[in-house]
Amino acid sequence: MPRPIKAIVDLSALRSNLALAKRAAPGARTLAVVKANAYGHGLLNAAHAFEDADGFAILEIENAVRLRDAGCRQPIVLLEGAFDSHDLRAAAEYQLACAIHDRDQVRLLQELPAAARLDLFVKLNTGMNRLGIAPRALPDVLDALRGEPRARSVTLMTHFACADDERGVEEQWGRFEAATRRFELPCTVANSAATLRYPQTHRDWIRPGIILYGASPFADVSAATLGLKPSMTLVSEIIGVQELAPGDAVGYGASFVAQRPMRIGIVACGYADGYPRHAPSGTPILVAGERTTTVGRVSMDMMCVDITAMPQAGRGSPVTLWGAGLSADEVAAAAGTISYELFCALAPRVPVIEQE
């Protein structure tokens, strides 16, 4: 029997979340963001569930090529563009649209064979100060692209830093509008949070990621309230039981000490599976569908749960780390992180099983 941990990917939840994103932005097309192995869900599983997406956004050219080889005909956008001229040639060959976030990438484009044609997404820095061309440099870059036959189309893009919190998008959106209005080019701006909260930013293409995977982009609104369905459920089993007397400690560092007699279930899941090591004692977890809490430090391959109040629980009891019945957002918040990180950290050693 294999080790009992697995991530169950619910394809119908993925479809339902995509449909919700599309309903939120009825006038826009949808670039489904499938970077980081589709937020841990498995690139091809997700692409299959997202066949109604109008396009895909991803980082690595190898993975974009995997999508093409799997039969994906939609536009695929490389969100960081090409990293060198070799990449850019491959992008042209596989018809992958490329972000252009600096002038070096324009130069690489100009060095491509004359017959190459690429769709380009020119990324503006409107305040996140990560990647992107300064608004004042945009006219020059667009001039260069206008005279460049290899540039088949140009879409303007930016990315929000605070769309998910109370600061919102106003400042960045204002800068984007001011810099781009006169060019009348197609635009893509909205991530998940802006897709749900800021309809003015929908424009031509939305770029939802996290909502497609059933988690909330907002710290203060649950995924269930938004109508999202959990698409990844991480499950395992209790593989051992310990009876603790008051004063007995559990796990590395003896960080948890029982104050009363306790029954502890040992779960086959640890940080080497992607469960956050910094999740403290008290992080919610389900045993046989019932809520309880973790105790002690998460170790590499195991962690501990309190089953004192669950006399029927024992070796073989099913455990849900997050997903259906226990939102990843809640587990992430208890561990001081975000659902994005839980999903992306899912380790390669955890089998990912698709389910309808």
* DSSP letter (8 states) at residue 198: -
User: Which member of 6, 39, 252, 340 is catalytic?
Assistant: 252
252 is catalytic: yes
Minimum CB separation of residue 94 from ligand PLP in Å reads 20
Only one of the segments 65-73, 207-215, 300-308, 315-323 lies at the binding site for ligand PLP (rule: CB under 6 A); that segment is: 207-215
Asked if residue 209 binds ligand PLP (CB under 6 A), the reply is yes
Q: List phi, psi (to 5°) of 156.
A: -95, 140
Min dist CB 87 to ligand PLP, Å, is 18
| Segment lying near ligand PLP (by CB under 6 A), choices 47-55, 172-180, 205-213, 276-284 | 205-213
Beta strands, E only, the chain: 6-10, 29-33, 55-58, 76-78, 97-100, 118-123, 151-157, 187-188, 205-206, 232-244, 249-250, 256-257, 262-267, 284-287, 290-295, 303-306, 318-322, 352-355
CB of 240 to ligand PLP, least distance (A): 37
Report the residue from 15, 101, 150, 159 that binds ligand PLP according to the rule CB under 6 A.
159
Q: Which of 5, 78, 79, 244 binds ligand PLP (CB under 6 A)?
A: 79
For residues 165-200, b (16+ Cβ closer than 10 Å) or e, as one string? eeebbeebbebbeebbeeeeeebbbbbbbbbbbbee
30 or 320, CB closer to ligand PLP?
30
3-state secondary structure of 188: strand
CA distance 239 to 294: 15
Name the active-site residue from 22, 35, 39, 271. 35
Stretch that binds ligand PLP, among 6-14, 15-23, 201-209, 345-353 (CB under 6 A): 201-209
Contacts to ligand PLP from residues 216-235, by CB under 6 A: 217
Tokens of 112: 């491509």
Closest contact distance (angstroms) between CB of 261 and ligand PLP is 45
Q: Which is nearer to ligand PLP, 41 or 207 (CB)?
A: 207
- Distance in Å, CB of 79 to ligand PLP, minimum: 5
Say whether residue 207 binds ligand PLP (CB under 6 A). Answer: yes
CA dist 316 and 71 (Å) reads 41
Q: How many angstroms separate the CA atoms of 57 and 76, rounded?
A: 6
Q: How far apart are CA 200 and CA 198, in angstroms?
A: 5
Catalytic positions, written as ranges: 35, 252
| Interacting residues with ligand PLP (CB under 6 A) | 33, 35, 79, 159, 191-192, 207-210, 217
